[in-house]
Amino acid sequence: MTQPRHPAPAPARQRSPLPWVLLAVFVVALGAVLVPQLLGGDDESPAPVAASEADPLLTAVGKCDPAKEGLKLSDKNRKLTVNGSGEKFPVGLGDDALTCVFDTLGVPGALSSRMTSTVGADGQLEGEWPGYTVVWTNDSAKGLDLTVTRTG
């Protein structure tokens, strides 16, 4: 006697990995967007403007001299002229506004101290830091006047 033949089982149908790949890409993209928000979203301290803005000179004008008393951009926004206030010429930037400019442009502390501690007899002095050069005079009557030029 022969045994009845049973049909061979159908081969297992292979599923495409595409849905899983798409899900993995979606999860990674979602993580890339959400993780920085979750880790840094509660930080209220602003990033240094010079590091975060494309044009620190323009940012300094808007942030540090809203009354337009002592900052002037020229040379296609590559040169910033700063007019500080003095004893005989009170129109210009005060100490707080000058500190704002120094912080916004990332002026090293040693250089900003040198600028503020010079006197009229020192004449015009020069300095530099990465991406910028500066020339200045500091006279108690006229105030600290400087010109910052972007070199990069």
Residues 123, 126, 132: CA angle, nearest 5 degrees:
150
CA distance 63 to 65: 6
In a domain, 97, yes or no: yes
pLDDT at 27: 76
Which of the residue ranges 51-55, 60-64, 74-78, 88-92 would you say has the lowest mean pLDDT?
Answer: 51-55
Instruction: Decide if 19 is inside a domain.
Output: no
Q: What was the pLDDT predicted at 50? A: 44
Question: Which of 47 and 16 is assigned the larger pLDDT?
Answer: 16
- Residues β-bridged to residue 83: 145
Q: Is the dihedral of CA 151, 76, 113, 118 positive or negative?
A: positive
Q: How many domains does the chain have?
A: 1
What pLDDT is recorded for position 7? Answer: 67
Q: Report the run of H or E that residue 129 belongs to, with start and end.
A: strand 125-129
What is the tens place of the pLDDT at every residue in 97-143? 999 999 999 999 999 999 999 999 999 999 999 999 999 999 989 99
| Residue 64 lies inside a defined structural domain of this protein | yes
Look at residue 118 and tell me if it is in a domain. yes
Looking at residue 9, what is its pLDDT? 65
Q: What is the pLDDT of residue 43?
A: 46
The pLDDT value recorded for residue 125 is 95
Tens of pLDDT, residue by residue over 30-53, are 777 766 666 654 444 444 444 444
**Residue 82: in which H helix or E strand, if any?**
strand 79-83
In a domain, 63, yes or no: yes
Q: How far apart are CA 143 and CA 91, in angstroms?
A: 10
Residue 142: inside a domain, yes or no? yes
Q: Distance between CA 102 and CA 109 in Å, rounded?
A: 9
Strand partners, 84: 93
Q: Is 11 among the domain residues?
A: no
- Which residue segment(s) compose the domain that 135 sits in? 49-150
Orientation angle between helical segments 56-64 and 95-105, nearest 10 degrees: 160
The reply to whether 7 falls in a domain is: no
The model's pLDDT over 85-103, given as tens digits with 9 standing for 90+, comes to 988 888 889 999 999 999 9
Is the separation of the CB atoms in 139 and 123 below 8 Å? Answer: no
Do 125 and 137 contact (CB within 8 A), yes or no? yes
pTM of the model: 0.63
State the sign of the Cα–Cα–Cα–Cα dihedral 64, 69, 74, 76.
positive
